[in-house]
Amino acid sequence: MEKKSSINNTNSEFPWQKCYPEGVDWAGEFVGKPHFHLLDQSVKAYSSLICTSFLGKDITYQEIGTRVDKLAAGLQKLGIGKGDKVGLFLPNSPTYVCFYFAILKTGATVVNYNPLYTVEELSFQVTNSETSLMVTLDLGLLFDKCEALMVNNVLNRTIVASFPSLLPPVKSLLFKLFKGKDLAKISASSQADKCIFEEDLLETNASFSPVEITPETDIAVLQYTGGTTGRPKGAMLTHKNISIQTEQIMRACLTLRRGEEVTMGILPFFHVFAMTVVLNLGIGIGARLLLMPKFEMKDALKLMLKERPTLMPGVPTLFNALCNLDRAPIEELKHLRLCISGGAPLPPDLIDEFAEICPATLVEGYGLSETSPVLTCNPPTGVMKPGSIGIPLPNTIISIRSLEDPSIEMPLGEKGEICATGPQVMPGYWNAKEETDNVFVGDFFRTGDIGYIDEDGYTFIVDRLKDLIISSGYNIYPRHVEDAIYKHEAVEEVTVIGVPDDYKGEAPKAFVKLKEGRSLSKNDLLDFLKDKLTKIELPEDIEFREELPKTMVGKLSKKELRD
């Protein structure tokens, strides 16, 4: 019997309830389900609609559903089932979509892998997660790494899917003729006997045998954290976690139109934000997914002009880059209705700048790998507070806890560690009991972020605990310094970190990228900041760079700057 998730409370218990949008029930009931039911339901409801558009080739929901069932049967024939971990080492593509749901149907667990990882990084994750089978494409850049893992006996087997087969016939032929060198020679590999071709799985005569799923405990996805504070850890996301998370977002976003939305798939699916807000949400509402295997602004704008997307999840650097294009308003953006920003803080001024070039509502959400990932969001149909990460999703509670003693809850308006509980919060880390115990206080997950809740229940992030700069005994929050620097009209991007200081212990240093064609000196920027920051908060040093380091998802990264 599937358990239901609901919260019993009075309307006066939580401050955000008085600001909840009309038609959205914060205390509503949710049912944890096998997550692949999401696809099954959409295949029935939207069978003839296009599910994926990839480099000019469209595939309907019915075709995706049929392929998923065949792949699930093929995986079962290989012996894949409950307890097995199957890796996805893929760019955004129909291959990812199909294997994601096929793996879940067998009862096995999806393990997401970053295609840019080194063999060393992959080796750790494969070993730690106990991944026995990897799925990849026959592109040399991808297969060569899987081959190295098999040579080193880290990985047992690899399923290889054809990249040219994902393209329209003419493009497929041209790719083979002019870019054939980019394809791996699987048959010539020393590991050929460990390779299985996707086409063989699809041609199997075996039929799929349904598997009994326990949503509360069966792990659907092992989502590895970024590892900025040490070795990456695998967040165990159950079928209940991700099925309810998808339903939470669908209920919170009242403006979404079932069977009509066109979603830009710029963010990579291996990242939990894209897996949830692009893939799972898109499938759940019967959207057409415009999949980009690699983000290039020129290609993205061309695709948007042709396909007219209505929904675009992204990171702040994407929306910032769009605002800094040399033309506005931008024709390519005029069909967008809703843009969801996540993964990093959204500078408040950027919301107004984006509104000048795009008619879409831009809202900021917040979450972590451990929370499937969304915890809060500014409501698309309610009050939006710039600088805030919004109000909790339905059935989600945010609690601000003392930095000295996380068992103590702080009053409204006072700063502390942001903690959360809800049906989307993981049960723990894979094979890491001590780390799991350290991130929970009772039922509440400790995010490691510092923030506060205002009188209306909106949460504001001050900074991450690990980013906090302690200078001469004073706490300096890098995000506060960054927000001040962003106010200068010449600044396009900024990252602030703490650097060693013999006298103060630590001091803030700013790394700044200027807008194209603009100039700014260190002294001029410091003069600009004098009435916006205290003397202790002023950057000790400012370094101007042509580019700032970013993660694969496009978030500004402090890790490389610290290193």
Q: What is the CATH number of domain 32-213?
A: 3.40.50.980
Looking at the DSSP bridge assignments, the partners of residue 469 are: 476
Q: pLDDT at position 454, please?
A: 97
pLDDT in tens, 484-496: 999 999 999 999 9
pLDDT in tens, 59-84: 999 999 999 999 999 999 999 999 99
Is the separation of the CB atoms in 320 and 350 below 8 Å? yes
With 80 as the cut, is the pLDDT of residue 447 above it? yes
Q: pLDDT at position 501, please?
A: 85
Q: Mind giving me the DSSP string for 52-77?
A: EEETTEEEEHHHHHHHHHHHHHHHHH
CA nearest neighbour of 511 among 468, 474, 462, 562: 562
Query: Six-digit token pair at 176?
Result: 């083979």
Q: Where are the domains of the chain?
A: 32-213, 468-562
The pTM assigned to this predicted structure is 0.89
Q: pLDDT at position 467, please?
A: 87
Q: Mind giving me the DSSP string for 224-238?
A: E---TTSS--EEEEE
pLDDT in tens, 125-135: 999 999 999 99
Task: Tell me the average pLDDT across 148-152.
Answer: 98
With 80 as the cut, is the pLDDT of residue 349 above it? yes
pLDDT in tens, 194-250: 999 999 999 988 899 999 999 999 999 999 986 444 678 999 999 999 999 999 999
In the chain, the percentage of residues whose pLDDT exceeds 70 is: 97
DSSP 139: B
Q: pLDDT at position 226, please?
A: 64
Q: How many Cβ atoms are within 10 Å of 178's Cβ, its own excluded?
A: 9
CA nearest neighbour of 101 among 126, 140, 72, 132: 72
Q: pLDDT at position 549, please?
A: 93
Compute the Cα dihedral for 376, 378, 381, 383 and give only its sign: positive
In three-state form (DSSP H/G/I as H, E/B as E, the rest C), the secondary structure along 255-312 is CCCCCCCEEEECCCCCCHHHHHHHHHHHHHCCCEEEECCCCCHHHHHHHHHHHCCCEE
Q: pLDDT at position 7, please?
A: 59
CA nearest neighbour of 74 among 212, 222, 209: 209
* Alpha-helix runs per DSSP H in 47-139: 61-77, 94-105, 119-129
Q: pLDDT at position 327, please?
A: 78
Q: Which CATH number fits domain 468-562: 3.40.630.30, 3.30.565.10, 3.30.1490.190, 3.30.300.30?
A: 3.30.300.30
